[in-house]
Amino acid sequence: MEHFSKAWIQIVTLSLLISYFNIQPSLGFVAHSAAGIKVHFSSRSEYFRTKALPPDASLPELSNEEIARYSRHLILKDCGMEGQRKLKAASVCLIGAGGLGCPALLYLAAAGVGRIGLVDDDVVDESNLQRQVAHGTSTVGKPKVESAAARVADLNPNCEMVLHRVQLTSDNALGVLGGYDIVLDGSDNFPTKYLINDACTILNIPCVYGAILGFEGQASVWNWPPGVGATYRDFLPQPPPPGEIPSCAEGGVLGILPGVIGGIQATEVIKLILGKGDILASRILIYDALSMRFREVQVRRGPNAEVNQLVDYQGFCGVGPAAPKPPPEEEGFRRLGAAAAAARLAGGWAPFVLDVRLPQEAEIVRLPFADALVPHREAAAVADQLPRDRDLLVHCKAGGRSATACKALAAAGFERERLFNLDGGILAWAREVDPSMPLY
């Protein structure tokens, strides 16, 4: 134990000396200019400082109140008065006031970023409160941008909030994001991530990326330096097939996880503004909360990064506008509402009831008369184990996954007249039939 303590003290002392005297490691870093010329820097930090956001001779002054508020920044060697004035002069646009956007927003506002844009067209839902820390019980049902702006106004009234209560699209993205120094991607779907990446590439601004699911998260800074650093398209040239990656609503997410990743994103934004440190560019940081480990993957800029115009990102990701439902007689299964299903059951109907949610969802609430639990992605694999001599009623949380399972079962040969999807799922059952059941 004594040996460990001495070693630890030596490590900490050395770290403090390096930090205080600004000692740089002797490792070199070679960058390639746009003309292909090799330029040697003593460290990655020096290279990125040369690419920092341009200093402004007319940086805004700090008031006495701001000096008191930001005093811990002002005595920080790599921030100081000039750095804080840069933060005040900077503008950052956050896409999404959800799990990632909320912690990033609060820390950027608290840090003194002068102007923050916030893009989100959603309203606060009770299920958001487990992780979206800018919102509260009193703001359920209110627009997220307004809820978050009210929180920022209390946290730091010096921060100017610009609210964009819109869905970011190919038609409005350049207009919304143009004029900001940095964009922070807090979106939760592939079409929007590709859209944000491409818009930032066209506008020549950095995109601070984050993504979360379950107990894992990712962060990076795309297009930094602009036209040189790797982009999201270098990391993921083609989107995964629709439905292959579950959403947070389907797969769940640890409430603390977006705080970790959103905090990393906010840190990178501040480093970009200050022109300090080794930016998380051309590499992606992957965090596993269960093992409490971080690892990195290098990403190189290639021809995929070149973008000249915005496209149809829903179509690109294969999740275009919902197609109109085919006539009932053309579907391979029948649809039944919760109230109608309850009436038929009360009249003696006895179908085999298949729950296609995840096991952990069934632990929250389940229909007491369900016969089997099989996740919807596995429905086709168990088709031979399901009865074909009686009706089959399939349900999930809201009706979407069960409809997918019904299609798979119809393709496996189940008769349309015996195959039923519970439209609205167990949520509809709770609202229309049994209000004592919890909603989730």
Q: What are phi and psi of 199, to 5 degrees?
A: -65, -40
> In percent, how much of the chain has pLDDT > 90?
81
- Is the domain 334-433 a CATH 3.40.250.10 member? yes
**Band (80; pLDDT cuts 50, 70, 90):** very high
pLDDT at 38 over 50: no
Catalytic residue numbers? 248, 396
pLDDT at 43 over 50: no
pLDDT at 283 over 80: yes
The pLDDT tens digits for 15-36 are: 333 233 333 333 333 343 333 3
- Both tokens assigned to 228: 């040189």
Side-chain half-sphere exposure of 275, counting CA atoms within 13 A: 17
Domain boundaries, the chain: 64-317, 334-433
The pLDDT tens digits for 54-64 are: 455 689 999 99
Mean pLDDT throughout 370-384?
Answer: 96
pLDDT at 379 over 80: yes
pLDDT at 5 over 50: no
pLDDT at 386: 97
For domain 64-317, the CATH architecture is 3-Layer(aba) Sandwich (3.40)
| 420 touches 351 (CB < 8 A) | yes
Mean pLDDT throughout 81-109?
Answer: 98
pLDDT at 63: 97
- Both tokens assigned to 421: 């999807």
pLDDT at 246: 82
pLDDT at 39: 36
**Band (320; pLDDT cuts 50, 70, 90):** low
pLDDT at 251 over 60: yes
pLDDT at 242 over 90: no
pLDDT at 17: 30
pLDDT at 12 over 70: no
The pLDDT tens digits for 298-319 are: 999 999 889 999 999 999 998 7
pTM above 0.75, yes or no: yes
pLDDT at 50 over 70: no
Mean pLDDT throughout 397-416?
Answer: 95
**Band (2; pLDDT cuts 50, 70, 90):** very low
* Bridge pairing between strands 216-222 and 207-213: antiparallel
pLDDT at 49: 47
pLDDT at 319: 79
The pLDDT tens digits for 127-149 are: 999 999 999 999 999 999 999 99
pLDDT at 27: 32
**Band (249; pLDDT cuts 50, 70, 90):** confident
Do the domains 334-433 and 64-317 match in fold?
Answer: no
pLDDT at 31: 40
pLDDT at 411: 95
**Band (323; pLDDT cuts 50, 70, 90):** low
The pLDDT tens digits for 165-220 are: 999 999 999 999 999 999 999 999 999 999 999 999 999 999 999 999 999 999 99
pLDDT at 201: 97
The pLDDT tens digits for 347-357 are: 999 999 999 99
